[in-house]
């Protein structure tokens, strides 16, 4: 074997040894291959199909029966027919109010839940969030006359997977009760550094067209992936928004609580809440 062929054969052999069994397959039964070295065939694989009901490695945050572990104003929250129900009416307005899950704090996780709005109101699912922080936005006198002075234990500050089917907000990354507010609109991939700056890096799709995938007065499947400073919001199998926040001191990058927002006059339903906690 001359030097060049020996070099080629040795290089291929080293590459083969570096491959895992899933990446390479030895082929030895090639006709006429007597006294020839074995060769390998590369394989490309697809991920397992999307399965929203796959809960391997997940734990439930709601048992479908009661609000054990959850903390909120009982004027607006109840468990009914296997779902958490939030309801605000003209006679019983809530403004912004939150149902806080007190039994877990998390930073890195995958969260799955189903959410439905009946009417034109809004909601969202809080994560990595805090309570007890002074509220920045004004609260109407009508709400205060109904609920009494604001209870900061029922107000949440931090990242939110927004959900408002009658408007353009569903799927976006919203920073509740901070100056950042909307950081990544629906259809955007954004890179930022806390409150200091944010930059559009690319587009996922047209904001209005993505809204056509959101169901009104019906159940929507929502997935939130949080890893370090990277956040991905997925609704009904479609990526809606991606944020990368590189500021380690950002409120987006602290471990915190999960919770559900109720906003405006509406009926909200949430069920099948599962989280795979990685930290």
132-176 confidence digits (pLDDT tens): 999 999 999 999 999 999 999 999 999 999 999 999 999 999 999
Q: What confidence score (pLDDT) does residue 8 get? A: 44
Q: How far apart are CA 182 and CA 164, in angstroms?
A: 14
pLDDT tens digits along 24-52:
455 555 555 556 666 778 899 999 999 99
Question: Across all residues in the chain, what is the average pLDDT?
Answer: 90
The two most distant CA atoms of the chain are separated, in Å, by 92
- DSSP structure string for the chain: --HHHHHHHHHHHHHHHHS-TTTEEEE---TT-TTPPPEEEE---PPPPP-TT--TT-EES--SS--TTEE--TTTEEEETTEEEEEE-SSS--SEEEEEEEEEEESSEEEEEEEEEESS-EEEEEEEEEESPPP-S---HHHHHHH-S--GGG-EEEEEEEE-TTTTTTT-EEEETSTTEEEE-TTEEEEEETTTEEEEEEE-S-HHHHHTTSPTTS-EEEEEEEETTEEEEEETTEEEEEEEE--TTSGGGS-EEEEEEEESSEEEEEEEEEEEE--
Asked if the model's pLDDT at residue 17 lies above 60, the reply is no
Residues facing residue 198 across a β-bridge? 192
What pLDDT, in 10s, does the model give residues 95-144? 999 999 999 999 999 999 999 999 899 999 999 999 999 999 999 999 99
Report pLDDT for 274.
98
Q: What is the pLDDT of residue 36?
A: 64
pLDDT at 19 over 70: no
Report which of residues 12 and 39 the model is more confident about.
39
Portion of the chain with pLDDT greater than 70, in percent:
86
Give the pLDDT of residue 23.
46
pTM: predicted TM-score of the whole model, two decimal places: 0.87
Q: What is the pLDDT of residue 143?
A: 95
Q: What is the mean pLDDT of residues 59-86?
A: 98
CA 174 to CA 245: how far, in whole Å? 13
């Amino acid at each position: 074997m001359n030097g060049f062929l020996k070099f080629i054969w040795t290089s291929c052999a080293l590459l083969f040894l570096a491959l895992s069994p899933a990446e390479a397959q030895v082929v030895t039964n090639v006709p006429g291959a007597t006294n020839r070295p074995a060769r390998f065939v590369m394989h490309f694989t697809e991920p397992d199909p999307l399965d929203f009901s796959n809960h391997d490695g997940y734990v439930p945050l709601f048992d479908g029966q009661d609000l054990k572990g959850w903390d909120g104003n009982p004027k607006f929250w109840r468990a009914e027919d296997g779902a958490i129900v939030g309801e605000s009416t003209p006679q019983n307005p809530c403004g912004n109010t939150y149902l806080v899950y007190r039994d877990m704090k998390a930073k890195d996780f995958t969260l799955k839940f189903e959410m439905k709005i009946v009417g034109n109101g809004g909601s969202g699912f809080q994560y990595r969030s805090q309570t007890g922080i002074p509220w920045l936005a004004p609260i109407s006198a009508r709400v205060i006359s109904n609920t009494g002075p604001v209870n900061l234990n029922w107000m949440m500050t931090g990242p939110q997977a927004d959900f408002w089917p009658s408007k353009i907000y569903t799927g976006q990354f919203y920073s509740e009760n901070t100056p950042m507010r909307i950081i990544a609109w629906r259809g955007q991939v954004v890179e930022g550094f806390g409150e200091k700056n944010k930059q559009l890096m690319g587009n996922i799709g047209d904001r209005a067209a993505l809204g056509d995938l959101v169901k009104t007065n019906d159940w929507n499947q929502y997935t939130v992936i949080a890893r370090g400073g990277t956040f991905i919001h997925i609704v009904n199998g479609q990526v809606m928004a991606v944020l990368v926040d590189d500021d380690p001191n950002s409120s987006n990058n602290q471990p915190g609580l999960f919770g559900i927002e109720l906003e405006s006059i509406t009926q909200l339903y949430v069920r099948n809440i599962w989280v795979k906690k990685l930290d």
